């Protein structure tokens, strides 16, 4: 990339290309597709118990129900493979894959048992309710700590316990650090189980053509290519006949990284019935049957010196992955949490065991930040606890522990690395948004009238941009680390970008067009971005881990550069100069000043070659070639003229094939370190326990910014989800493992009045590992907000004697903590 000043699109807050349709209601979510009108409808019968033996599955009444075409049970699909787990450590002793339909036993409330296919949605739903399931209950495991007890029932046959994997990360002299510590701070921290709940639920429209053997499969997915392969694997279906399309996707946040039984069942039904089959998740199924996020218990000890420097970190991370190892579920705990246990801090002596355990709950999977929020929450809560224990300023404690810019790139003790960053400068910029002294004065005054104000900080770093392929292989991740981009320049000089990334609202049709537009010298409206269709984009890795700009964006940039080089060769031929004597400026190749002598020499040579070519052509064909216009004193040729020439092929360099069409796979060597500082200000009502978020400040560093409007939008959305987790969101199971939070009435989704306006800013540290200098931005809001808010709440209530608060800060929980502290103080 040239100097930033040369950019006309990159770095500009351009409005989105995709909005034109969406603000008019002209969306193409799977449920909007006209083809659904011709489809049969699928409904899933689900387990009403969390753990039980299936005694009998009675389909008699359901089969007789009007409109029912077919019912699939486990017995009908023995030829199909269970759902993949494509990320778990290689040494995981027991990886239990999720069956498409439960056979002998159900392991969680809501587990699919049968699929009903009927002429209408109402008929399918009714018949699913008519399926009777005789079950023999088995005792349940609904707590990760109890799952590890020696007398716990073992969920999976053939396993010796309920542990999916147990992985130790150890570095340095941990025992020595704890022996020499001035103080040891020990805490138990929990990370609540939540649901991503994108507003568009999952949806599938699968259409098998028995004549051609083609399967056209629409699915609301973040990873159309990965899911196409998963579908082919489950069905044992030839990949060249599978056309997988993800049209508009109404949010994902990790939930649509999972690959689910409904995709396979709808496809299998269509293949058997020779009719299209449609299924759309109802909101209850979001909670019952789409992966949940988080759900960790961390027991942590930090050895510190008198200045709050962390000398050693030890303890145990215990994650509940639910009933089965599904999708990326185990891997995110193993690598994302495991690799970021020290975050932006220089902690060299580490001994942490990370354990993933099975339970009778819905499997967990990646949720915005995927493993990073859990580690960051632990670290940021501990930083505040260290400050409290030593009576130090939490800001100072963080600064005492940051890895400095001079130490970059920095290899962290837990095995990953930080590529660049200045965490203290970022923290300072965030602090510039708030007058801390003034806040402390306000806080003291407010406390006198029993208004509790608190301010909290959350700093994090995230390894964004999942890559490289070789590294993913090394950590048991059965996916590639590259991203593909194919760029085509049409004969009129306009371009289409085919990207293997996939937008679920991030605005890739705009941001990727900004990259391509600047690189090719085109206006935004002259670039079209295409995603989510395996027939036109054969390869893709998809969108997760804030990787699209860093990996997918760079692939687009490189494909455009490659096209531009081909066009330079054509321009050189047309203008009769060496390619390096041309510069690309304002949409045209121009002869650099000072190249005129070479130009004259070049033209002489060209005329001589033209003469030979013309004579040979005349001898063979009897026709004369048109005059190539070499004598016209051309000094420049436009992008569009070259594009036209490339397709006509009349006068391209010898050996060059026609057309402008380049595919590039970018597989970066390392992952860029994105980071941010969050500052929260809360007010707590001592009488009710109600926590109000008064201010939330984020200064992020995502490297160079392609579109600040979109980048800030990502931060806003992330804050809302992080604040939702901290304040109100929680998956609640009863003692029998039945899910209580199963729709928007019983699962608290944050609303507009729950939040203040957000205050945002950026620092910019270019990523060294990609030519655009970009880092991830999508997930950070959800990583930094939870600890900032909990730290703020504790800051408010510490003078009242409250020492501990866990997420979510429901008024009841906060009120109880205040009451317990009162009792303690009065004792």
Partner 1 sequence: MTELSLSVNGHTVTSDIQPEMLLVDFLRETLNLTGAHQGCNTTQCGACTVHVDRRAIKSCAMLAIECDGVEVTTIEGIATGPADDELHPMQAAFRAHHGLQCGFCTSGMIMTGLAIARQGSLPSRSIIRSNLKGNICRCTGYHNIVSAIEEGSKQLALLEDSR
Residues that bind partner 1 (CB under 8 A): 15-16, 18-20, 22-27, 29, 31-32, 34, 37, 196-201, 248-251, 253, 282-284, 504-507, 709-710, 712-713, 716-721, 743-745, 749, 751-753, 755, 757-758, 781
Asked, as a colleague might, if the bond just before 796 is cis with ω within 30 of 0, I would say no
Maximum distance among all alpha carbons in the chain? Answer: 112
| Smallest distance from partner 1 to CB 221, Å | 13
Tokens of 384: 């505040």
Q: 310-322 and 292-304: which strand pairing?
A: antiparallel
Report the residue number, 32 or 800, with the smaller CB distance to partner 1: 32
Report the residue number, 252 or 394, with the smaller CB distance to partner 1: 252
| Smallest distance from partner 1 to CB 502, Å | 12
Report the residue number, 308 or 507, with the smaller CB distance to partner 1: 507
| Smallest distance from partner 1 to CB 366, Å | 16
DSSP per-residue string spanning 347-393 = ---EEEEEEEEE-SSPPB---TTTTHHHHHHHHHHHHHHHHHHHT--
| Smallest distance from partner 1 to CB 274, Å | 23
| Smallest distance from partner 1 to CB 827, Å | 42
| Smallest distance from partner 1 to CB 275, Å | 18
Answer whether 410's CB lies under 8 Å from 353's CB.
Answer: no
| Smallest distance from partner 1 to CB 718, Å | 8
* Count of C-beta atoms within a 10 Å radius of residue 780: 33
What is the helix (H) or strand (E) element at residue 549, kind and residue range? none
Distance CA 195, CA 256 (A): 12
Report the residue number, 312 or 505, with the smaller CB distance to partner 1: 505
Angle, helix 554-575 to helix 639-648, in steps of 10 degrees: 80
Going 123 to 125 to 130 to 132, the CA torsion angle's sign is positive
| Smallest distance from partner 1 to CB 16, Å | 7
| Smallest distance from partner 1 to CB 709, Å | 5
Report the residue number, 17 or 821, with the smaller CB distance to partner 1: 17
Distance CA 167, CA 175 (A): 19
Q: 588-591 and 636-638: which strand pairing?
A: antiparallel
Q: Is 757 helix (H, G, I), strand (E, B) or coil?
A: coil
Asked, as a colleague might, if the bond just before 808 is cis with ω within 30 of 0, I would say yes
| Smallest distance from partner 1 to CB 201, Å | 8
Report the residue number, 20 or 600, with the smaller CB distance to partner 1: 20
Report the residue number, 16 or 558, with the smaller CB distance to partner 1: 16
| Nearest by Cα to 243 from 260, 231, 251 | 231
Q: What are phi and psi of 739, to 5 degrees?
A: -85, 125
| Smallest distance from partner 1 to CB 339, Å | 27
Report the residue number, 342 or 504, with the smaller CB distance to partner 1: 504
Report the residue number, 297 or 370, with the smaller CB distance to partner 1: 370
Asked, as a colleague might, if the bond just before 453 is cis with ω within 30 of 0, I would say no
Distance CA 792, CA 456 (A): 4
Angle, helix 811-826 to helix 780-797, in steps of 10 degrees: 30
CA dihedral 683, 689, 693, 695 (to 10 degrees): 10
Answer whether 296's CB lies under 8 Å from 218's CB.
Answer: no
| Nearest by Cα to 380 from 784, 727, 810, 686 | 784
| Smallest distance from partner 1 to CB 783, Å | 14
Report the residue number, 232 or 249, with the smaller CB distance to partner 1: 249
What is the helix (H) or strand (E) element at residue 661, kind and residue range? strand 661-666
| Smallest distance from partner 1 to CB 620, Å | 54
Answer whether 375's CB lies under 8 Å from 784's CB.
Answer: no
Q: 310-322 and 350-358: which strand pairing?
A: parallel
Tokens of 259: 């690959």
Q: Is 6 helix (H, G, I), strand (E, B) or coil?
A: helix
Q: 132-137 and 582-585: which strand pairing?
A: unpaired
| Smallest distance from partner 1 to CB 606, Å | 47
Q: How far apart are the first and last CA of the chain?
A: 67
Q: For 122, what's the count of Cα atoms within 13 Å in the CB-facing half-sphere? A: 1
Distance CA 382, CA 315 (A): 13
Distance CA 528, CA 532 (A): 14
Report the residue number, 471 or 717, with the smaller CB distance to partner 1: 717
| Smallest distance from partner 1 to CB 382, Å | 27
Distance CA 706, CA 515 (A): 8
Report the residue number, 254 or 312, with the smaller CB distance to partner 1: 254
Tokens of 168: 């130790």
Answer whether 378's CB lies under 8 Å from 371's CB.
Answer: no
Distance CA 326, CA 328 (A): 6
Which residues 6+ apart lie within 8 Å of 694 measured at CB? 453, 681, 682, 683, 756
Report the residue number, 27 or 813, with the smaller CB distance to partner 1: 27
DSSP per-residue string spanning 696-709 = EEEEEE-BS-S-HH
Report the residue number, 645 or 779, with the smaller CB distance to partner 1: 779
| Smallest distance from partner 1 to CB 281, Å | 10
| Smallest distance from partner 1 to CB 126, Å | 13
Distance CA 677, CA 527 (A): 35
| Smallest distance from partner 1 to CB 509, Å | 12
């Amino acid at each position: 990339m040239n100097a930033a000043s040369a950019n006309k699109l990159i770095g500009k807050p351009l409005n989105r290309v995709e909005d034109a349709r969406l603000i008019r209601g002209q969306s193409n979510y799977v449920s909007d597709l006209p083809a659904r009108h011709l489809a049969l409808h699928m409904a899933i019968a689900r387990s009403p118990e969390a753990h039980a033996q299936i005694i009998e599955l009675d389909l008699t009444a359901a089969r007789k129900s009007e409109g029912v075409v077919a019912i699939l049970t486990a017995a009908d699909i023995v030829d199909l493979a269970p759902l993949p787990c494509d990320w778990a450590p290689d040494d995981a002793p027991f990886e239990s894959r999720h069956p498409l339909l439960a056979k002998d036993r159900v392991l969680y409330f809501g587990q699919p048992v049968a699929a009903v296919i009927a002429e209408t949605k109402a008929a399918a739903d009714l018949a699913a309710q008519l399926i009777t399931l005789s079950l023999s209950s088995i005792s349940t495991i609904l707590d990760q700590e109890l799952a590890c007890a020696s007398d716990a029932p073992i969920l999976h046959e053939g396993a010796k316990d309920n542990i999916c994997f147990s992985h130790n990360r150890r570095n340095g002299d941990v025992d020595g650090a704890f022996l020499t510590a001035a103080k040891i701070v020990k805490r138990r921290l929990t990370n609540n189980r939540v649901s991503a709940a994108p507003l568009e639920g999952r949806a599938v429209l699968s259409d098998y053509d028995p004549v051609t053997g083609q399967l056209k499969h629409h699915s609301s997915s973040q990873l159309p290519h990965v899911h196409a392969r998963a579908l082919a694997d489950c069905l044992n279906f030839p990949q060249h006949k599978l056309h997988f399309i993800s049209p508009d996707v109404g949010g994902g946040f990790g939930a649509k990284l999972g690959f689910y039984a409904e995709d396979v069942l709808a496809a299998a039904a269509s293949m058997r019935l020779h009719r299209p089959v449609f299924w759309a998740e109802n909101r209850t199924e979001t909670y019952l049957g789409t992966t949940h996020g988080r759900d960790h218990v961390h027991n942590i000890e930090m050895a510190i010196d008198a200045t709050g420097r962390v000398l050693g970190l030890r303890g145990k991370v215990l994650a509940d992955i639910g009933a089965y190892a599904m999708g990326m579920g185990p891997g995110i705990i193993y690598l994302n949490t495991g690799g970021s246990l020290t975050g932006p801090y220089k902690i060299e002596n580490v001994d942490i065991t990370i354990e993933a355990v099975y339970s009778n709950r819905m499997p967990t999977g990646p949720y915005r930040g995927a493993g990073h929020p859990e580690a960051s929450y632990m670290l940021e809560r501990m930083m505040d606890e260290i400050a409290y224990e030593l009576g130090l300023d939490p800001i100072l404690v963080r600064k005492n522990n940051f890895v400095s810019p001079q130490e970059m790139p920095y290899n962290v003790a837990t095995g990953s690395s930080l590529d660049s960053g200045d965490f203290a400068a970022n923290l300072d910029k965030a602090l510039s948004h708030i007058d801390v002294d003034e806040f402390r004065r306000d806080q003291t005054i407010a406390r006198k009238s029993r208004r509790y104000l608190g301010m909290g900080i959350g700093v994090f770093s995230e390894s964004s941009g999942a890559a490289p392929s070789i590294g993913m292989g090394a950590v048991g991740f059965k996916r590639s680390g590259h991203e593909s981009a194919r760029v085509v320049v049409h004969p009129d000089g306009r371009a289409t970008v085919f990207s293997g990334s996939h937008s679920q609202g991030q605005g890739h049709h705009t941001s990727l067009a900004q990259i391509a537009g600047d690189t090719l010298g085109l206006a935004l409206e002259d670039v079209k971005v295409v995603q989510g269709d395996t027939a036109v984009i054969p390869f893709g890795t998809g969108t997760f881990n804030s990787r699209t700009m860093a990996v997918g964006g760079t692939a687009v940039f490189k494909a455009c550069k490659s096209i531009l080089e081909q066009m330079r060769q054509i321009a050189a031929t047309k203008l009769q100069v060496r390619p390096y004597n041309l510069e690309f400026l304002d949409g045209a190749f121009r002869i650099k000043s000072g190249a005129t002598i070479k130009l004259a020499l070049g033209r002489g040579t060209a005329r001589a070659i033209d003469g030979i070519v013309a004579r040979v052509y005349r001898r063979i064909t009897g026709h004369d070639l048109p005059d190539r216009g070499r004598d016209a004193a051309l000094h420049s040729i436009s992008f569009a003229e070259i594009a036209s020439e490339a397709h006509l092929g009349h006068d391209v360099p010898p050996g060059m094939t026609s057309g402008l069409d380049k595919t590039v796979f970018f597989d970066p060597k390392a992952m860029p370190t994105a980071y941010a500082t969050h500052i929260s200000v809360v007010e707590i009502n001592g009488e009710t326990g109600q926590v109000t978020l008064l201010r939330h400040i984020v200064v992020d560093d995502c490297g160079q910014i392609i579109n600040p409007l979109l980048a800030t939008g990502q931060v806003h959305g992330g804050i809302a989800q992080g604040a939702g987790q901290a304040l109100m969101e929680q998956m609640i199971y009863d003692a029998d493992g039945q899910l209580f939070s199963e729709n928007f009435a019983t699962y608290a989704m944050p609303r507009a009045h729950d939040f203040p306006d957000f205050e945002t800013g950026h620092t910019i540290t270019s990523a060294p590992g990609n030519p655009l200098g970009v880092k991830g931005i999508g997930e950070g809001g959800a990583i930094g907000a939870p600890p900032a808010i909990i730290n703020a709440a504790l800051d408010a209530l510490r003078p009242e004697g409250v020492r501990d608060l866990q997420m979510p800060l429901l008024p009841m929980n906060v009120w109880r903590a205040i009451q317990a502290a009162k009792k303690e103080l009065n004792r």
